[in-house]
Amino acid sequence: MNAGSRSHSPVSTSQLPLAFEVTLEGAHVAIRSALSVIRENLAPLDLSREELCTVELIVAEVLNNIVDHAFDDHPHPGSIRIHGSYQPNGLKFCFTDLGKPMPHSALRASLDAIPCLDPSTLPEGGFGMGLIKLLTDRLDYSRTGSLNCLTMRIPVGRA
Amino acid sequence: MELLARTEGPLQLVSVVDDRIDAAVALVFKDHMRRLTSGGTGSVILDLQKVTFIDSSGLGAIIAVMKNLAPDRALLLAGLTGPVARVFRLTRMDSVFSIYPTLDVAVEDRRNA
């Protein structure tokens, strides 16, 4: 477990901007404590319970995807770095890792494409990216050398 | 991952004791549910009132449990908290499952079914 946090700027209950960075080991077992650290970092924003749930769900889905796909069968699964910052137009996140590249087709996932008429044909996965797309905007993926970078904005707070 | 199971008539009631069904426990949850429900014949009601966080892996695990019980047995859900209900709504899985406000309401409904 290697979840830690360091603030780039002093965080106080009344002063914005807010920025933080969390680094975790690229493994499912590390995700819960990373989410807990992020919740602590977001405390000064006084987000509503529903907004906090949204942020937690999105971050969890992104981290799951990185662990399941970028680090799947990877000889040296490394760490994931999360940079979060709050601006008046919402919460911006940047996730970086050195795992395998994400196919651009992954970004085309949509919850609308999931058939839910016949329960026997329901998929047991594939909801993650659909949820991320539904609850964020300005979702962008880039690959620079061996670095994956996924950025997004979550319209919460005073957005 | 702790689950509490009991039977009530032909119904099997399973309560999730943990407050999260996420990627860290999804596989364990699925296997545990399969073991608990094997050999039974009636509907299974899954009580989620203590669960305050579910991600798509947890949702996928619940779908897998439902498919594993089908076609002879139904999986019914009860006691969804706000965040859990929201994930079911956003993914439209609320239209696939029978969802009851509480375990008692679910039991009562199925008893009269």
**pLDDT, tens only, B66-108:** 999 999 999 999 999 999 999 999 999 999 999 999 999 999 9
Count the residues in chain A.
159
Chain-centroid distance of CA A2 in Å reads: 17
- Given an 8 Å threshold on Cβ–Cβ distance, is A123 in contact with B87? no
Q: Which residues of A touch B65 (CB under 8 A)?
A: none
A3-20 pLDDT, tens digit each: 444 444 333 344 467 999
Which pLDDT value is given to residue A126?
84
Which pLDDT value is given to residue B107?
96
**Nearest-CB residue to B96 (from A61, A122, A131):** A122
ipTM: 0.93
Which amino acid, A71?
F
A78-132 pLDDT, tens digit each: 999 999 999 888 999 999 999 999 998 888 888 887 776 677 888 888 899 999 9
Q: From A20, A22, A155, select the one nearest A89 (Cα to Cα).
A: A155
Which pLDDT value is given to residue A113?
76
Burial class (CB in 10 A: 0-12, 13-18, 19+), A133: middle
Burial class (CB in 10 A: 0-12, 13-18, 19+), B35: exposed
In total, the C-beta contacts within 8 angstroms joining chain A to chain B are 79
Q: Hey, what are B63's tokens? A: 């779908």
Best A51, A72, A124, A133 member to test B by mutation, with max B CBs in 10 Å, is: A124
- Given an 8 Å threshold on Cβ–Cβ distance, is A57 in contact with B63? no
HSE (side-chain half, CA atoms, 13 Å) at B44: 28
Which pLDDT value is given to residue A110?
80
B113 to chain A nearest CA, in Å? 21
Q: How far apart are the first and last CA of chain A?
A: 33
Which pLDDT value is given to residue A158?
67
B5-28 pLDDT, tens digit each: 999 999 999 999 999 999 999 999
In chain A, the residue whose alpha carbon lies closest to the alpha carbon of B23 is A28
Which pLDDT value is given to residue A116?
67
Q: Which residues of A touch B63 (CB under 8 A)?
A: 122-124
A29-87 pLDDT, tens digit each: 999 999 999 999 999 999 999 999 999 999 999 999 999 999 998 877 899 999 999 98
A127 to chain B nearest CA, in Å? 6
